[in-house]
Chain A
């Protein structure tokens, strides 16, 4: 008989707040974080979209990251560490110091050799690469230009040169830790090091499906008996100094264009949707645990994971295959893995990005497989798109929905593109089984199935 897998802890660092309670409270209030991009970014490029979902100011110390660690970690890893710390604390594991001169911990109540880390990210420490590259490229030319201006600049020329010099920003150092900051496996490695977890330690780089694939593989590792406990989730961070990453999404035409009213620009599944709202980043972590292991510890169980599947479109790097046949196949495989049928599903946390193609294809598939009764929402309508973290956030929202019997609205949905049962209010209902699905650049599709635990 398969071992059962439950969620016993969760942690969040997000644009909607830090900590699961704050995040979920904001979700249920239908809050969203929308703001203009940093003022200096439009200097470097003609941006079509100028909105994103910024993170609050975060003191790394509040995430449990000391200066010695901050100086050698990319922000994406700090976010992952912060989310993992909350998740492990909520799961009820006591922490012992790993040594007199160590900042790391040992989990009591878990065999470290049978505890794994399964984390997803889209771009990993890309901003550390950009920051170091900017330093590498600009430090000498900028210093030379400053020297030239000092020697030759007449008053008017000097003012013009100063304007150029002011835009040639490059940070103060080429960080000697760059390699370990940039590598996509840094977040999962940092979590494993911080908590002395010596089981399998895996990183999943599957763009927007990274978080879902990470959770799904953690689920399988526990169900198959390879580990008893898994720290799983996803993380992302996009705030490079010059808006390079934002531009790369913007230039591909994927971001929100309707910003006459910034608060309504992000509108998944609406007829007037124009693209997705890019998030500055975030991290969501889940502690997954074998049921008897969790019960033996007396852990509080949030929900049960019962199925996972993934398929691949083999169609396009940037666009879903129209018709969504591989998505449909994935849903049926996930339901079969969970020993469920479409009629058993009460709630779907959709990928729901707000792009023309995604929402149309996804809505058609949901209609074909589930019909019009299942409740559907898009967490991205509140949070924006956290790319590699999104699947982890959405798995968490699905678990919280099942636990609490209520979920958040699908925001800014005035004219639905299809007549589905989109969530319009936070009225209580009685969901027993939910599905969270993600689709990614490249063509990756993944879904997890969760059941209310009672």
Chain B
């Protein structure tokens, strides 16, 4: 796992959900542990798009349940050719 990506994902989650970075564990469930509403999650994915400049289509992110799922997903996205 890319430590830099992990750090940036946690920072974005912290910023969007207004939580301390220390509260955001890798195995934390976005919905249950971090209590992100569907609207929060939509904002989070838009913010992650902004942070990493990669598109995150809704149909691809619905499966992402934990912080680690998101980090892995972004990691994969960064390996792909960027969409412009």
Q: Are A72 and B53 in contact (CB under 8 A)?
A: no
Query: Is the C-beta of A176 less than 8 angstroms from some C-beta in chain B?
Result: yes
Query: Is the C-beta of A154 less than 8 angstroms from some C-beta in chain B?
Result: no
Give complex CA distance A387, B21 in Å. 44
Chain B residue at minimal CB-CB distance from A175: B46
Q: Are A71 and B46 in contact (CB under 8 A)?
A: yes
Q: Are B15 and A67 in contact (CB under 8 A)?
A: yes
Query: Is the C-beta of A172 less than 8 angstroms from some C-beta in chain B?
Result: yes
Partner of B83, one of A66, A172, A175: A172
Q: Are B47 and A68 in contact (CB under 8 A)?
A: yes
Write out, one digit per residue, whether chain B residues 17-57 have a CB within 8 A of any chain A CB (1) or not (0): 11100000000000000000000001100110110010100
Partner of A177, one of B46, B58, B84: B46
Query: Is the C-beta of A102 less than 8 angstroms from some C-beta in chain B?
Result: yes
Chain B residue at minimal CB-CB distance from A100: B18
Partner of A72, one of B43, B49, B58: B43
Query: Is the C-beta of B16 less than 8 angstroms from some C-beta in chain A?
Result: yes
Nearest Cβ on chain B to A139's Cβ, whole angstroms: 8
B18 contacts across to A, CB distance below 8 A: 100-103
B49 contacts across to A, CB distance below 8 A: 172-173
Nearest Cβ on chain A to B38's Cβ, whole angstroms: 11
Chain B residue at minimal CB-CB distance from A146: B84
Partner of A176, one of B17, B42, B84: B42
Q: Are A71 and B43 in contact (CB under 8 A)?
A: yes
Write out, one digit per residue, whether chain A residues 196-228 have a CB within 8 A of any chain B CB (1) or not (0): 000000000000000000000000000000000
Nearest Cβ on chain B to A59's Cβ, whole angstroms: 15
Q: Are A172 and B53 in contact (CB under 8 A)?
A: yes
Q: Are B58 and A173 in contact (CB under 8 A)?
A: no
Number of interface residues of A (CB under 8 A): 15
Nearest Cβ on chain B to A161's Cβ, whole angstroms: 15
Partner of A66, one of B15, B17, B42: B15
Q: Are B17 and A101 in contact (CB under 8 A)?
A: yes
B16 contacts across to A, CB distance below 8 A: 67-68
B43 contacts across to A, CB distance below 8 A: 68, 71-72, 177
Give complex CA distance A296, B33 in Å. 46
Give complex CA distance A173, B47 in Å. 11
Write out, one digit per residue, whether chain B residues 61-84 have a CB within 8 A of any chain A CB (1) or not (0): 000000000000000000000011
Partner of A71, one of B47, B58, B83: B47
Nearest Cβ on chain A to B83's Cβ, whole angstroms: 7
Nearest Cβ on chain A to B15's Cβ, whole angstroms: 6
Give complex CA distance A71, B16 in Å. 11
Nearest Cβ on chain B to A406's Cβ, whole angstroms: 45
Give complex CA distance A72, B46 in Å. 9
Chain B residue at minimal CB-CB distance from A139: B83
B19 contacts across to A, CB distance below 8 A: 101
Nearest Cβ on chain A to B51's Cβ, whole angstroms: 9
Given known pairs A173-B55, A176-B58, A177-B42, the reply for A71 and B15 (CB within 8 Å) is no
Nearest Cβ on chain B to A131's Cβ, whole angstroms: 14
Give complex CA distance A72, B19 in Å. 19
Give complex CA distance A246, B56 in Å. 32
Chain A residue at minimal CB-CB distance from B16: A68
Partner of A172, one of B15, B17, B47, B55: B55
Given known pairs A173-B55, A176-B42, A176-B58, the reply for A71 and B50 (CB within 8 Å) is yes
Q: Which of A66, A173, A177 has the most CB of B within 10 A?
A: A173
Partner of A67, one of B47, B58, B84: B47
A101 contacts across to B, CB distance below 8 A: 17-19
Given known pairs A66-B15, A68-B16, A103-B18, the reply for A176 and B83 (CB within 8 Å) is no
Partner of B50, one of A67, A102, A177: A67
A177 contacts across to B, CB distance below 8 A: 42-43, 46
Chain A residue at minimal CB-CB distance from B56: A173
B42 contacts across to A, CB distance below 8 A: 176-177
What are 9 A-B pairs at a CB distance below 8 A? A68-B43, A71-B46, A72-B43, A72-B46, A102-B18, A103-B18, A172-B55, A172-B84, A176-B42
| 4 A-B pairs closest in CB distance | A101-B18, A71-B46, A68-B16, A176-B42
Q: Which residues of A contact B (CB under 8 A)?
A: 66-68, 71-72, 100-103, 143, 172-173, 175-177
List 8 additional A-B contacts (Cβ < 8 Å) besides A67-B50, A176-B42. A66-B15, A67-B16, A71-B43, A71-B50, A72-B43, A101-B18, A173-B49, A177-B46
Q: Which residues of B contact A (CB under 8 A)?
A: 15-19, 42-43, 46-47, 49-50, 53, 55, 58, 83-84
